[in-house]
Amino acid sequence: MTTGPTVLSLRGATKRFGGLVAVNDMDFDVTEHEVLGLIGPNGSGKSTTLNLISGALKPTEGTISLRGTPISHLSAADIARRGIARTFQLVRLLPSMTVLENVRAGAVFGHRRRWGAEADAHALRMLALVGLDRRANAHVGELTYIDTKRVELARVLASEPKVLLLDEWLAGLNPTELEEGITLIKRLRDEGRTIILVEHVMDAIRSLCDRCVVMSTGLKIAEGTPEEVLSDPEVIRAYLGDYDA
Amino acid sequence: MSLAKRDWQSITLSAVLLAVAACLPLTGDAYMLSIGITIAMYAVLATSWALFSGPTHFISLATAAFFGLGTYTTAIGIENGLNYWVTLPIAAILGAVLAALVGLATLRLSGVYFVIFTLGLAELVRQVVTWGQNVSGQKGLYVLTDITEVHIYLQLLVLGGIVYLTGWAIGRSRLGFALRIIGDDEEVARHSGINTSRAKILLFMVSGATAAVVGSMLAPRYIYIEPALAFTPMLSFLVVIMALLGGTGRLWGPLVGVIPFTLLWEAISASFPNQTTLLLGLSFLVIVYLLPRGFVGLIESGKRKMREREAFA
Amino acid sequence: MDILITGLLLGGTYALIAMGLNLQYGVARIMNLANGEFLVAGGFAAFWFYTAGQVSPLLTIFIVAPLAFGLNWLIYVVMLRPLVKRAKSHGQLEVDAILTTFGLAFVSVGIMLALFGGDYFSYSYLARPITLIGDTYALNRVTAAVAAVIICGGLWLWLNHTRAGMSIRAIAVDPKSARLVGIDVPKLSALAFALGGAVTAMGGALISTFLTLDASTGVMFTLKALVIVIMGGVGDVRGTIVAALLLGILETFVATLIDPGLTLAAAYLLFVLILLFRPQGLFGRRTT
């Protein structure tokens, strides 16, 4: 099923905060055009893993490589430039700017760098992709919650990343919005993008992910297709009492 | 790069204003000229200060350090037989180098460290220069040139024009866009692929180099230079107040603060010389509590209200 | 040897001043650039009481402390709390707090200039030599350092062994979690800010017994206290004391062996080294 070349790989990635081991010896690969779900109960280290990949945090031990080249020693900016782009758990937009300018930030400084009219045209295309092209000149303060998430997604897409990291992008949406959101990510998946998804919404995991890595207390406890891992007794034990899957 | 009609309009307007300002010496009034120099000096300093501190919200209190560095560069250069005009680019380079060093040490960290560091920088350089003079047994320096007040004034205007053009060009460049993103959310900037420290250091270098050149240009006015005069911390504070009072959201914002505040400051210094510190303190408080976005903010919200009223009419 | 001890004596007083600033920055999260002015005001009070009524500076601190406490509490509640409330981001609060306290610093210098003029002031209190381990030191320096140690010790006991003290330490570590366990963060922030001001003013009264002050020296002390707080680590009592002693020794060293005019340069040297190599403070752990 996963036959493409490996894009991103983690080997023994570990993050300690003082005595607490937030991520413990993580190993996994992401292949091209794959959607990988990173799941697990609250506090299991999913977001920390994402932060290690995007360079927001440096791993205490282990390496993370992009197409065979180690990137774990690089700054967040360098990692972004090499083609790993992320959204944030709590949406982060640039408050003083318009929707278009927000997206342009990704187009100008990301993996593929554009400038001037080319950057604007590209940003508009990305806005069309997420269905917001008609609000390009709106101020971000005027947007609804899902629209702010769309702008953030468009900003990330505009950098043409090799790997897309979505940190609970579907969290906090109401049922209709959730449906729209899942459709949108499905479209990205059908375009053949490589995505790592940290997610709690089980419907989304089942319908979007090719493969899942399950974490609990910093450790990888299972890996496989959504059906496999969600029926794994250890995974069920990890979730029980903490999350009604 | 193509220029829109609005760009041409603002360039023409700036050029006309600069030309009008250049006519001031024709009045032949020495007092007017002296005030003109002070205003031009603060306008250049405040505008270049805002180039960096406006978008990044990092408050630099180091203007006096760069200014003094420039003054001393010119004074020492002339004493050692250098042509005055040669000392200006040297001052610019030294200012940029000092800014780069300060930036490398502090701009990676949170804004508080930067403020504290710049707050003491002028005093630090002053102590070192004073010590150097004590060791070499020298007290002050004479700057004797044939440069007149009119020359100084015109030089400052030219420098002001250059700073405006630079600011305008930066505003349209990737660097300017990067700084706006950094000012909005540094985390997003980093994760979008912006080398945030480099962008901040580059802009701080522009600002530092400009302040150093202003110091160089003012050196012939002082004739006799000593550390307490060249590195007066008051200069840094006044520049911050003027820039924030005008508003840093627009390139022309600081200028709107510089003109009225310089006049007020001159008046207060002349009639109540002991109350200047109090005035300085109150100005900071007025900015925080009454004019958080400066006169620019006031003008823009006024415009918006006018527009809304027209829409209803 | 006597450089070391003179340095330690100076550092002891510095520790007290920096402790005041650290309470304000570490707990109330306000970088108070007017801190040094409260020090000078404390020194002025000691000077005035001593020259007018022969009141010992050691007694004056009991008058200075409640006054500074009340004034700082008012400043926090009236001027700073509205800024905390209106700030949309941490960065904005930082800028507003810096500008406001800077403004306050100039206003207080202006008021002190108007009241007392711009002259240096000093008085002679316990200016007798005292012999310690074979060398002689000024008794006033020794007394000030001992008093500083007593006040620091009291503060430490209070922070570690009372309910309010522990709550204040909890806020310094994590204001959000502190709120969750039922700590009244706004009230205790005001308390910490006021207490910080009182501690600094007491330090000022003590330091005036052996240093000459004038209305505009406050900013120098603010800078030194800031360097100590950053070096010691924000909210770290032990770090603050060690950093203050280090700075005291280094300053005495530079003043004695190179030039007394270079004390700020010495403090800056330490500051740069800390920024480059240990921006989290001497004993701080690197956090996220």
What tens digit of pLDDT does each residue of C17-52 get? 999 999 998 888 888 999 999 999 999 898 888 888
Please calculate the CA angle B205-B211-B215 and round it to the nearest 5 degrees. Answer: 140
Closest CA to A88 of C10, B227, B185, B56: B185
Q: How much is the average pLDDT of A89-117?
A: 90
Cα–Cα nearest to B230, from B90, B64, B84, B78: B64
Query: Which residues of chain A have a CB within 8 Å of the CB of B178?
Result: 109
- Residue C126 above 70 pLDDT? yes
> Does any CB of chain C come closer than 8 Å to the CB of residue B190?
no
Neighbours of B100 (CB within 10 A): 17
| pLDDT tens digits, B208-259 | 999 999 999 999 998 888 888 889 888 999 999 999 999 888 888 899 999 9
- Whether pLDDT at B3 is above 80: no
A131-142 per-position pLDDT tens digit: 888 998 999 988
Q: Is the pLDDT of residue A192 over 70?
A: yes
d(CA A230, CA B4): 59
ipTM of this complex prediction, to 2 decimal places:
0.90
Which amino acid type is present at position A68?
Answer: G
> Looking at the domain that runs over C2-277, which CATH code has it been given?
1.10.3470
Q: What percent of chain A has pLDDT over 70?
A: 96
- Cβ atoms of residues A30 and A36 within 8 Å: yes
Residue B312 has a pLDDT of: 67
C131-146 mean pLDDT: 80
Does pLDDT of B1 surpass 80?
A: no
Residue A218: what are its φ and ψ, rounded to 5°?
85, -10
Residue C237's pLDDT is: 82
**Pick the residue with more confidence: C251 or C261?**
C251
Cβ separation C95–B112 shorter than 8 A: no
Phi-psi region of C162 (alpha: psi -120 to 50; beta: other; left: phi over 0): beta
Query: What is the spatial distance between Cα B286 and Cα B290, in angstroms, rounded to a whole number?
Result: 5
Q: At what angle do helices C90-116 and B111-136 cross, to 10 degrees?
A: 50
pLDDT tens digits, residue range B146-169? Answer: 888 899 999 999 999 999 999 999
Say if residue A2's pLDDT is above 60.
no
Cα C99 from Cα A14, distance rounded (Å): 42
* Residue pair B46/B254 in contact by the 8 Å Cβ criterion: yes
Lowest-pLDDT choice from B30-44, C183-197, C265-279 = C265-279
Helix (H) or strand (E) holding A79: helix A76-82
How far apart are the CA of A101 and the nearest CA of chain B, in angstroms?
9
pLDDT at C284 over 70: no
CATH number where A176 lies: 3.40.50.300
Is residue A205 a contact partner of residue A199, using CB atoms and an 8 Å limit?
Answer: yes
Residue B38 contacts residue B217 (beta carbons within 8 Å): no
Question: Distances from the Cα of C16 to the Cαs of A47, B297, C68, C125, C202, in angstroms?
Answer: 42, 42, 15, 20, 8
What percentage of chain B carries pLDDT values higher than 70? 98
The answer as to whether A125 is a domain residue is no
Query: How many beta carbons lie within 10 A of that of residue B147, not counting itself?
Result: 15
Residue B35 confidence (pLDDT): 92
The answer, yes or no, to whether residue B291 has pLDDT greater than 90, is: no
pTM over the 0.80 mark: yes
Rounded to whole angstroms, the Cα distance separating A50 from C262 reads 49
Rg of chain A in Å (alpha carbons)? 18
If you average pLDDT over every residue of chain C, what do you get? 86
Does the beta-carbon distance from C288 to A17 stay under 8 Å?
A: yes
Q: Hey, is the C-beta of C223 within 8 angstroms of any chain B C-beta?
A: yes
Q: A216 forms bridges with which residues in the sheet?
A: A219
Which residue in this structure is represented by tokens 């342009």?
A: A104
Query: Is C102 in CB contact (< 8 Å) with chain B?
Result: yes
Which residue among B180, B183, B196 places its CB closest to the CB of A77?
Answer: B196
pLDDT in tens, A32-56: 999 999 998 888 899 999 999 999 9
Mutate to test the interface with A, among B3, B56, B175, B191 (most CBs of A within 10 A): B191
* Residue B190 pLDDT grade (very low, low, confident, very high; cuts 50, 70, 90): very high
Per-residue pLDDT reduced to its tens digit, C201-257: 999 999 988 888 888 888 889 989 998 998 888 877 888 889 999 999 999 999 888
Residue-level pLDDT at A156: 94
- DSSP state string for B59-89: ----HHHHHHHHHHHHHHHHHTT--HHHHHH
Is A167's pLDDT higher than 50? yes
Residues C166, B246: Cα–Cα separation, whole Å: 45
CB neighbours of residue A73 within 10 Å: 12
pLDDT at A243: 47
How does strand A194-198 pair with strand A35-39? Answer: parallel
Cβ separation of C288 and A18 shorter than 8 Å? no
CB C10 within 8 A of CB C252: yes
pLDDT at A245: 42
Mean pLDDT across chain B, nearest whole number?
89
pLDDT band of C285, cuts 50, 70, 90: low
CA-nearest of B189, B220, B196 to B71 is B220
Residue C288 has pLDDT above 50, yes or no: no
Q: Is it the case that residue A242 has pLDDT exceeding 60?
A: no
Q: Are C256 and C3 in contact (CB under 8 A)?
A: yes
Output B176 or B9, whichever has higher pLDDT.
Answer: B176
Residue A13 lies in a domain: yes
B274 touches chain C (CB under 8 A): yes
- For residue A18, the chain C residues in CB contact (below 8 A) are 285
Local structure of A84: helix, strand or coil: strand
pLDDT class for B2, splitting at 50, 70, 90?
A: low
| pLDDT classification of A29: cutoffs 50, 70, 90 | very high
Cα gap B89→B101, rounded to integer Å: 18
Distance separating alpha carbons of residues C223 and C268, to the nearest angstrom? 9
Chain A residues near residue C90 by CB distance under 8 angstroms: none
- What domain range is A196 assigned to? 6-83+162-239
Query: What's the rounded mean pLDDT across residues A179-191?
Result: 90
Q: What is the pLDDT of residue A244?
A: 46
Pairing relation of β-strands A211-216 and A219-224?
antiparallel
Spatial separation of the C-alpha atoms in residues C32 and C229, rounded to whole Å:
12
Question: Can you list the alpha helix ranges (DSSP code H) found in chain B?
Answer: 5-22, 30-56, 63-79, 84-106, 111-136, 149-171, 174-184, 186-191, 196-222, 227-230, 233-246, 253-271, 276-289, 294-312
Encode burial over A95-133: b for 16+ CB neighbours within 10 A, e otherwise. ebbbbbbbbbbbbbbbbeebeeeebbebbbebbebbebb
Which stretches within chain C are classed as H helix? 2-26, 35-53, 57-74, 81-86, 90-116, 139-161, 163-173, 175-180, 185-207, 218-232, 237-257, 263-277
Q: How confident is the model at residue A241 (pLDDT cuts 50, 70, 90)?
A: low
Q: Is C82 helix (H, G, I), strand (E, B) or coil?
A: helix
pLDDT value of position C286: 47
pLDDT of the residue at A83: 93
Contact of C115 with chain B, judged by CB distance below 8 Å, is answered with no
Lowest-pLDDT range, A136-145, A161-170, C189-198, C269-278?
Answer: C269-278
Is the minimum CB–CB distance between B124 and chain C shorter than 8 Å?
Answer: yes
Whether the CB-CB separation of A140 and A94 falls below 8 Å is answered with yes
